[in-house]
Structure 1
């Protein structure tokens, strides 16, 4: 497997074009309504667009991103961009444990910038240096600097196959996996398709397409499970329009979002507010610079269309299990209070070997950005007994 170092270098004319488009925005008229009730708030968008066009320093963000050790690799015919940060050793012969962490939508590898510090150098945060990880954070195919797949069919299962190849190519015969959002599906698929290499998976989200293996006629739904399924359906009816569109007509909206930075910011920014533990004030949790670094990655790489198409592929290959099928790989789950769904433990135990379960005190869908210390502590705790195999 060929691996090459990579640095981000956005051309000056791309920055000029972005600023021109933002300043030439044609603002959509609307009937007055309470802020955020019908989607992205116009006043917030105007402020963000003004900052993006006049004050946001992409070059500073680029320098910060380039401090991460980034690479490109040809993995089974797919070019994959990834960060590979090695852990800080604490004694002669010590080997940090290898972990692949996968992002989702509307995130990117940038989501993990603070979590990487916590996982790779725990001693710097007062944690046990023996809990250090070698962390690999790939960009999903079609996201950021991983180009769009050349052929259809790149669902979570096919991504998992490439992650397993990537980890072997980096010298890791055994490793762990972690993820939320789309990354949770990839992590589950790794456990399903590569159980001899994957020691354990840790999740902070359950894919909405998950259906357990056990026949409900033999194991009736518990009251908690019934409440969960009802809440999930209610959420999908009011908040899930984006996912239905991504999964059925992604290229229609991609034509607009790839051409309008303001539209892209609205599409992504509204989710960072709605899905995070921000109490309605998005900048209480995410700075404008953080939001715009992530949004700019989507803009400059023109990846919004391919990113949405992964929903199409996952719809065709959902996370469903046959009656009697079990996934024996150990699983840990951190359930954050403002996550978009809250499955009970029993719902996962119908299929998975759940060995760690934590109800977190705060945080939402973007846990790695919102609560990196809390998430890192859960990951360290889960993988501690599995480290003997790693490497």
Structure 2
């Protein structure tokens, strides 16, 4: 049963947050280090000062609460979900799965574009009933008290959630970890998922003979390995020792901001200036959700769970019609040969702008791509 949900932060909690921000004990940094060694301390000082004395969380919270937000129990887990019905009647149900370091926040800009395309320059016939849940341990969904859930388990929860909402057949889309969740929805519930759209193919897992791969596939594996060596320290920490990092990130809002903002900058199409991709208020809304819900540790633990997924699961090919959006500033872009290897790929779109967080970086382009891709699967 859905229960309406409109959270309101306790003023005392916000006062504590501001006090912590003002009392930040800042590290030194080499002269002109910028972002070359991680988060730019000079930028973070400016961001934290604004978070403490300029950012209006109640206004941002009120904007989020204008979405149709609910909580419900799925598989024993209390889940927060945005359930936005299409304007004008029945439409194709679509479940959108987020990743890290975000939550339902990733899709807040595209929800109205998908539920009411006619009001945004689109065809009203392309409307969706949009379902955007927070994964367990993220955002306003409860943190699992037992072992963390992996993407396979979350896909099972989402299938149950869609049944509870009255949707027998539906479309699925996602990015980052949510790309994997959408993949397993299609793999484990092929009779129910009409088609699946993914923003990325994820970092490749391949245990076969590399000689069987096309040259561009081998180059892709090498590029992904190089990315992991230079950019993957955060993921190694999440997979192996998430609780160690969680102590500092849960206690220090400045530390939390550093951990998240560095990724928002590195993974977005911002040309080195993170505020070209996101407004300062958008950045801090995402981070404040993590702070108020205390979910940075539980979100990181999902990497630990995913690290134990058996190789045989990674080797499964998706036979459900699949589409991919490739954005120029995303982490590692897979070649078409790889996409055909891992899925029944019927559409690949290369976008001129955007990065890993395209639904909030380029919401119009992302929404239009979903409308176009799912159009043949509405009947």
Q: Note whether the superposition's TM-score is higher than 0.5.
A: yes
Q: CA deviation at 1:207?
A: 2.1
Partner of 1:117: 112
Q: How does 1:1-391 map to 2 (within 5 A)?
A: 2-89=1-88, 94-208=89-203, 210-211=205-206, 215-216=208-209, 220-317=212-309, 320-321=312-313, 325-388=316-379
SS of corresponding position for 2:369: helix
The question of whether the paired residues in 2 share the 8 Å contact of 1:185 and 1:319 is answered with no
The separation in 1 between residues aligned to 2:206 and 2:301, in whole angstroms, is 22
Q: Deviations over 1:211-246 (max 9, x none)?
A: 48xx547x7211111111111111111100000100
SS of corresponding position for 2:95: strand
Q: Deviations over 1:18-50 (max 9, x none)?
A: 000000000112332431000111110010000
Q: CA deviation at 1:108?
A: 1.2
The separation in 1 between residues aligned to 2:314 and 2:297, in whole angstroms, is 32
Change (3 A) 1:253 1:161: same
The question of whether the paired residues in 2 share the 8 Å contact of 1:210 and 1:318 is answered with no
SS of corresponding position for 2:347: strand
SS of corresponding position for 2:239: helix
- Which consecutive residues of structure 2, in runs of 5 or more, have no partner in the other structure? none
SS of corresponding position for 1:350: helix
The question of whether the paired residues in 2 share the 8 Å contact of 1:211 and 1:320 is answered with no
Q: CA deviation at 1:197?
A: 0.9
The separation in 1 between residues aligned to 2:314 and 2:223, in whole angstroms, is 24
The question of whether the paired residues in 1 share the 8 Å contact of 2:173 and 2:179 is answered with yes
**CA RMSD after TM alignment:** 1.4
The question of whether the paired residues in 2 share the 8 Å contact of 1:209 and 1:319 is answered with no
Q: CA deviation at 1:209?
A: 5.0
Number of aligned positions between the proteins: 379
The separation in 2 between residues aligned to 1:255 and 1:162, in whole angstroms, is 28
The question of whether the paired residues in 2 share the 8 Å contact of 1:178 and 1:201 is answered with yes
- Which consecutive residues of structure 1, in runs of 5 or more, have no partner in the other structure? none
Change (3 A) 1:68 1:41: same
SS of corresponding position for 2:270: coil
TM-score (norm 1): 0.94
Change (3 A) 1:199 1:239: same
Change (3 A) 1:81 1:330: same
The separation in 1 between residues aligned to 2:317 and 2:34, in whole angstroms, is 46
Q: CA deviation at 1:147?
A: 1.1
The separation in 2 between residues aligned to 1:103 and 1:270, in whole angstroms, is 18
